[in-house]
Amino acid sequence: MDNFDAGFEHLWSRAYGVAYVVLGDRGESEDIAQETLARALVRWRKVSAYAEPWVVRVAGNLAIDRVRKRQRTRAVPVEHVPGVDAQRVDLQRALIALSPKQREVVVLRYLVDLPEAEVAETLGCSVGTVKTHASRGLAALRKSLEATA
């Protein structure tokens, strides 16, 4: 993708989609998409060759950081805030507990629904590594979510 303006809508859609899957909030997802594309524009010469995977990864990381920030600053337990889905909160907590590589793979592979090859390309690793991290990440998520059920 040579031209930022030409790819903006597609990149925005990807960034927003990743953020929404993690956060479940339209306003926060729009903020994440804006931040991601602002970062992409500043680094466009470096990231234009692999813009879409870069945007997906940055948006996912920013969304997970937002979840962490929520948990640190919230005085009222999240479960008692009106309109917050308890299952989403449990999933966010379980995702945060994963190793960074497992979390990236699980988010990109299962929440964003990217094929294994695209996840491998995005993260700069082999398909086998993606499969390993996905398997271990899903096992850890199952264990964590069963404990909260």
Measured CA to CA, the distance from residue 120 to residue 116 in angstroms comes to 6
Dump pLDDT digits (tens) for 76-120.
454 554 445 677 778 888 888 888 888 888 888 887 788 899 888
Mean pLDDT is lowest, of 9-13, 32-36, 44-48, 80-84, for 80-84
Measured CA to CA, the distance from residue 104 to residue 5 in angstroms comes to 27
Q: Which of 120, 77, 81, 102 is nearest to 94 (CA)?
A: 102
